[in-house]
Amino acid sequence: MRRIFVTGISTEVGKTMASAVLVEAMQADYWKPVQAGDLDHTDSDKVRELISNSRSVIHPSAYALNTPMSPHAAAEIDGVQIELKHIVPPDTENHLIIEGAGGLLVPLNDTDTILDLIKPTYKVVVVSRHYLGSINHTLLTLDKLIDKGIRPYLLYSGDPNPSTETILERRTRVPVLGRMDEQAVFTSSTVKRLAAVLRPSLQGHGLL
């Protein structure tokens, strides 16, 4: 069974929507190891509302922090210390989609970052959205993963930018899974449609 870690080049680039689409496409389980803020409507809640299949299980976060900040700072406010030994992947025989928090180098504590949650056996999907500075953010994210020996996949979020996408793909040769088109509102119907579009690419890349 696949373990796919979803990270982004920054915040608000579409990681949760991408996770929901992947969960639906693969009928996979979902796990957000660290949730910081929005505890009344978490990313786990959003994914649960957006998927339609009956197989997926939403697993509880290892840490649920009250403040929408970097996990290390949110944990400090709550008076807790995030420790990797307490972030244990759920035991499941299904595919598992794991959603990070922010980007790869978001700190969990004084020594560990989101990158340290990615195990060597995981596949990694990088969600990239086009904005001023996104080329730099995308290349830095991809380079960091490649330096660690991980060959990531790109998933675009939002409207296309051929110039940006061409330079990213030429420089990195990273496989592209596809695109989540710009949406005014994400609904379960939207996620189901995007999942159907993405599924052949997942199969073609050996992820499903």
Alpha helices in 51-179 (DSSP H): 71-78, 134-147, 162-172
pLDDT in tens, 153-165: 999 999 999 999 9
pLDDT in tens, 61-100: 999 999 999 999 999 999 999 999 999 999 999 999 999 9
pLDDT in tens, 18-71: 999 999 999 999 999 999 999 999 999 999 999 999 999 999 999 999 999 999
Report pLDDT for 88: 97
Report pLDDT for 39: 95
Query: Region 196-201: what's the mean pLDDT?
Result: 97
pLDDT in tens, 116-160: 999 999 999 999 999 999 999 999 999 999 999 999 999 999 999
Q: Where are the domains of the chain?
A: 3-204
Report pLDDT for 184: 86
Catalytic option among 32, 119, 144, 148: 32
Taking phi over 0 as left and psi of -120 to 50 as alpha, with beta for the rest, 37 belongs to left
Taking phi over 0 as left and psi of -120 to 50 as alpha, with beta for the rest, 5 belongs to beta
Cα(190)–Cα(67) distance, rounded to whole angstroms?
Answer: 29
- Superfamily of structural domain 3-204: P-loop containing nucleotide triphosphate hydrolases (3.40.50.300)
Question: In terms of Cα–Cα distance, which of 111, 169, 107 is closest to 142?
Answer: 169
Cα(108)–Cα(115) distance, rounded to whole angstroms?
Answer: 10
Which residues lie below 8 Å from residue 14, measured CB to CB, with a gap of 6+? 8, 127, 129, 157, 158, 180
Q: Based on the residue annotation, tell me whether 32 is a catalytic residue of this protein.
A: yes
Report pLDDT for 201: 97
Cα(64)–Cα(40) distance, rounded to whole angstroms?
Answer: 11
Q: Quick check: 171 pLDDT over 90?
A: yes
What's the whole-model pTM score? 0.96
Query: Region 155-176: what's the mean pLDDT?
Result: 95
* Residues 151 and 205 sit within 8 Å (Cβ to Cβ): no
